Structure 1
Amino acid sequence: MNSVDLAFLPALEQARLIRHREISPLELAELYLERIERLNPALGAYVTVMAEQALADAKAKTEHLASNPEDLPPLFGVTVSVKDLNPVEGVACAYGIKAACDRIAPQDDYIVSKLRQAGMIILGKTATSQLGSLPYTEPPGFPPARNPWNLDYTPGGSSGGGAAALAAGLCAISQGSDGGGSLRGPAFCCGLVGMKASRGRISFSPLGERLNGLAVNGPLGRTVADTAALLDVLSGYELGDPYWLPDPEPSFLAGLDAPPRPLRIGYTTRLDPIGEVDPVCRQAIYETVQQVEDLGHSAEEVTFPNLENLIEPFVVVWECVVAELGVPWIVLEKMNRWLYWRAWRINSGAYLRAVAQLQLVARQIVQFCHPYDVLILPVYMHPTIKVGEWKGLRSPKILDSVINWVAPCPPFNASGQPALAIPQGFAPSGVPIGVQLVGRPADEATLLALAAQLEQVGSWKHQRPAFATGAETTLP
């Protein structure tokens, strides 16, 4: 196996090789760090590379493996990236703000501790849009994150750095977060599997969650099984959490062993008031519908509830969070600065009315979805944009452009339902596209089982960007 094949090997396969002593955690860490050093300057995926810490951890795990070969967790020795919105003890956490690059995190975020407990090796912090507020990853003062399938295009945001790193073979698996599509969008842009888990599935301890349940941390994987395995790692209630769900039985990964029963599936290619999805993305939905019918499921076209009553309250909460974070407006980029000042016109009553309106719309969405096991929708309304494409626009126009692109994602942040982005082909520009699978509350298992079936009949898990496949070396 050459070095490129190993770098793109699924995380669970890498873990199997580690358990069987065919490769060591140290060899894997060295492989990825070499690729990061060579490819990241053009990609802008990592803002902080934790080379020294990663190598020390990998050496310790390699030594542990020699003396404790049994009872290893499923992802022991596998490398992972962490989004630069999640603190890692002793490492800068800048939130996409250049002036905060010297702010060292005093402790691990809860999910980072979960990654460590699972025996994973953290390679570094990946780029995010400033404050995680935008669907492209171009924070001022940092190189823009680029899409490894076509470097002229964005990998999405706000988990764009993690998606770019994973798609380019600069880690085995990635962690991200999703408050309005920030995991599903980058998965769509980069040809990955991205899960927005159900509300309460993954703890926000110890910092808490400011978005009234809209946001959730989650996994990005190259395969459905990898995504399920990382979801198992991240999931779990922490004492005092405001939302909680029981752990799945069996685990999400184990649940993939049995195919789902015949499912009732709804699909749509139109979301009002935005309109019809781009033809390329529409064709991806039709192809997915044909595949699920060939697999024995039933599919019917549906008319999704009009989103007009969701857009304004969602924006109100979004801009209020930008202002509430306490970041001085002077260090904010243009769009966040505009959102910050817009928030000052909103009093507490208007904010609470927005939250109540979101809850009302969420109830309508869940009730609409209830008759169906799964819905198939667009992830975004059109393929990914070029790096800097909206930079010269005035802020109100950027807001309109964002809304008209990401519209299929926020409804399920509002409703708390699980939603999974999976690849389904390519746009003419060479960048991936995909579709979104939405499930009933707390039913990630059905989404993952259906996605695993689709993965078997598709070819997307074998695709690699040309940018990331050069400089092969033969490994012993």
Structure 2
Amino acid sequence: MASEKPTHIEEMARWSITETIAAIREGRATARLVTEAAITRIERANPHINAVHTLLREQALADAEAIDPSLPLAGVPTLIKAEHDIEGIPTTLGGYGNSTPAQHDSAVVSRLRAAGAIILGTTHMPEFGQFPWTEGASFGHTRNPWNLHHSTGGSSGGSAAAVAAGCVPFAIGSDGGGSIRIPASCCGLIGLKPVRGRVSTSPWPDLWGRLGTIGPLTRTAADTALVYDIIAGPSEHDAFPLPRPYNTFTDAANQAPQRLRIAWLTSPANPLIHVERHIAKTVHDVARTLAKAGHTITHLTQRWPNDQPNYLIEFAHAIAQERKRVEHPNRLETRTRHTANAGRLIPPALLKHAHTVATKLAADIETRFAEYDIVITPTIATAPPKLGQLDTTGSFHALIRSLPMVAFTTLANTTGHASLSFPASHTPDGLPIGIQLYAPGGDEQRLLTLAAQLERLLPNRPTIAPTLP
């Protein structure tokens, strides 16, 4: 819990959202003090991790001074992936394609402001969010706070690094193929990929067509639920509007789990992908822990459907559509232009077929969930890789190199299901290992209930990265 006199920046960096709110409401801190501490932490950490793109220092301090203390996130600082509009600054999408400041906040940013969150700025991402590492020609490498020679994953790597380093208690990311869950796994965080349509993508009707969703990266299940309660809900022009559930996500994170039927697997759908031994062992160890807690556990040896050939069609088309949304397509990175050009060549009939296959895959997964309440897999097949995954790499080789990172994550984007990466363990070198929880239908609540139980069952899990130099 927060201390009685929270004046030390390093101490405040470890506060969760709920601890920050409690300190402000109880008078042990002010919104301005918390905001100043977050800004100082960013200024200290960012030269090492390169997570933050734009820091809105003066605006954030002014917002903190004027905050309504009755709001649910009053005074809690946050950062936003550079894919989402913040009024007054360009939405860079990780590159140089846009230069005109956004005229309005996106729906998610607007909802966070209305709840009292302090928007500190934007975080780095690979251009268009197209890679599972956060590296780019416009900003260089974003570094993992747990080991500065390793990747944060991507594409929400800047958001993940900022939370893991204690700059903010939560940040907003987006997920079109694992882009919340992968960096959450690499950086020791909880990363929730919502069910398709649960969070508005406004001002755009969609994000990467059917693939993309927007969600939080946090350190606790309770914090994830709190933010999710605030940002969930459709907007008028959403392509896939989905209402909020009747009960709150916070209620789900606080309730005791019933006995669940939990299946686990470590074999990826693509038989060419090798899962590292300590990654597979972590999934197995978690399954045994859950069995001891009273859940019914089943080991799945049959591989799940391989969605990736179908996913690649939707992915390339999404990048082509994304290019239409930038002001200066001639300024895009060479890899981005090549992928977008490939996407433009996809005939409408092939894209329609891909959507049909995706719908059938979703039905197949739902059928499998008739026997299980949750399925657990690795989030990624390897430890967080070393930096430089995109150095001197063209589009095709970058795609091939991505496969171990996305082997377990793209299926949820193809089918629209919810999934969550939970920080379960460490590699022998001290890097975080995440496991993925996969739920049927739109049942994010079940994911949050189980994640909260895992926090109690795994006290030695990753929480916050060691102090940076």
Deviations 1:85-118 (A, max 9, x none): 0000012211111353x32111110011110111
In structure 2, C-alpha distance between the alignment counterparts of 1:206 and 1:330, rounded to whole Å = 24
Q: 2:45 corresponds to which residue? A: 39
> What's the CA shift for 1:399?
1.1
CA contact (8 A) 1:329 1:340 kept: no
* Alignment pair present for 1:214 and 2:211: yes
CA contact (8 A) 2:376 2:438 kept: yes
Give 1:51's match in structure 2, choosing from 57, 61, 68. 57
CA contact (8 A) 1:7 1:171 kept: yes
Q: 1:83 corresponds to which residue? A: 81
In structure 2, C-alpha distance between the alignment counterparts of 1:143 and 1:460, rounded to whole Å = 33
Any idea what SS the aligned residue of 1:152 has?
A: strand
Q: 2:134 corresponds to which residue? A: 137
Q: 1:9 corresponds to which residue? A: 15
In structure 2, C-alpha distance between the alignment counterparts of 1:465 and 1:125, rounded to whole Å = 21
Give 2:311's match in structure 1, choosing from 308, 314, 335. 314
CA contact (8 A) 1:277 1:381 kept: yes
Question: Which deviates more from structure 2 when the two are superposed, residues 346-355 or residues 255-264?
Answer: 346-355
In structure 2, C-alpha distance between the alignment counterparts of 1:272 and 1:192, rounded to whole Å = 25
In structure 1, C-alpha distance between the alignment counterparts of 2:391 and 2:449, rounded to whole Å = 40
Q: 1:346 to 1:465 in 2, by over 3 A?
A: same
Give 1:239's match in structure 2, choosing from 231, 236, 239. 236
Identity rate of aligned residues, in percent? 33
Q: 1:348 to 1:462 in 2, by over 3 A?
A: closer
CA contact (8 A) 1:366 1:415 kept: no
Q: 1:292 corresponds to which residue? A: 290
Question: Gaps (5+ residues) in structure 1?
Answer: 66-71, 471-476
Give 2:168's match in structure 1, choosing from 165, 171, 187. 171
In structure 2, C-alpha distance between the alignment counterparts of 1:304 and 1:138, rounded to whole Å = 35
Q: 2:245 corresponds to which residue? A: 248
Question: Which deviates more from structure 2 when the two are superposed, residues 228-237 or residues 341-350?
Answer: 341-350
Q: 2:299 corresponds to which residue? A: 301
> What's the CA shift for 1:334?
3.6
> What's the CA shift for 1:161?
0.3
The two structures have a TM-score, normalised by structure 1, of 0.92
Q: Map of 1:37-436 to 2, 5 A cutoff?
A: 37-61=43-67, 64-65=68-69, 72-100=70-98, 102-274=99-271, 275-308=273-306, 310-325=307-322, 326=324, 327=326, 330-436=330-436
CA contact (8 A) 2:222 2:254 kept: no
* Alignment pair present for 1:441 and 2:441: yes
In structure 2, C-alpha distance between the alignment counterparts of 1:463 and 1:317, rounded to whole Å = 35
In structure 2, C-alpha distance between the alignment counterparts of 1:338 and 1:460, rounded to whole Å = 44
> What's the CA shift for 1:394?
4.1
CA contact (8 A) 2:197 2:240 kept: yes
Q: 1:162 to 1:361 in 2, by over 3 A?
A: same
In structure 2, C-alpha distance between the alignment counterparts of 1:324 and 1:239, rounded to whole Å = 21
In structure 2, C-alpha distance between the alignment counterparts of 1:283 and 1:462, rounded to whole Å = 16
> What's the CA shift for 1:210?
4.5
> What's the CA shift for 1:306?
4.4
In structure 2, C-alpha distance between the alignment counterparts of 1:403 and 1:329, rounded to whole Å = 27
Any idea what SS the aligned residue of 2:131 has?
A: coil
Deviations 1:389-423 (A, max 9, x none): 34234432221221232110011111211101000
Q: 1:391 to 1:307 in 2, by over 3 A?
A: farther
Query: What residue identity is the alignment partner of 2:392?
Result: G
In structure 2, C-alpha distance between the alignment counterparts of 1:74 and 1:461, rounded to whole Å = 28
Any idea what SS the aligned residue of 1:271 has?
A: coil
CA contact (8 A) 1:132 1:157 kept: yes
Question: Which deviates more from structure 2 when the two are superposed, residues 446-455 or residues 199-208?
Answer: 199-208
Query: What residue identity is the alignment partner of 1:293?
Result: A
> What's the CA shift for 1:442?
1.3
Any idea what SS the aligned residue of 2:121 has?
A: strand
Any idea what SS the aligned residue of 1:212 has?
A: coil
Query: What residue identity is the alignment partner of 1:29?
Result: T
Q: Say what the alpha-carbon RMSD is for the aligned residues.
A: 1.8
* Alignment pair present for 1:21 and 2:27: yes
Q: 1:458 to 1:306 in 2, by over 3 A?
A: closer
Aligned residue pairs total 459
Question: Gaps (5+ residues) in structure 2?
Answer: none
> What's the CA shift for 1:240?
4.2
CA contact (8 A) 1:365 1:411 kept: no
> What's the CA shift for 1:21?
1.2
Deviations 1:401-457 (A, max 9, x none): 212321100111112111010001112333211100011111111111111111012
Q: 1:193 to 1:452 in 2, by over 3 A?
A: same
The two structures have a TM-score, normalised by structure 2, of 0.93
> What's the CA shift for 1:461?
6.1
In structure 1, C-alpha distance between the alignment counterparts of 2:463 and 2:395, rounded to whole Å = 36
CA contact (8 A) 1:305 1:365 kept: no
In structure 1, C-alpha distance between the alignment counterparts of 2:43 and 2:402, rounded to whole Å = 33
Deviations 1:316-352 (A, max 9, x none): 1111121222256542324323212322432222222
Any idea what SS the aligned residue of 1:151 has?
A: strand
> What's the CA shift for 1:134?
0.8
CA contact (8 A) 2:233 2:244 kept: yes
CA contact (8 A) 1:98 1:140 kept: no
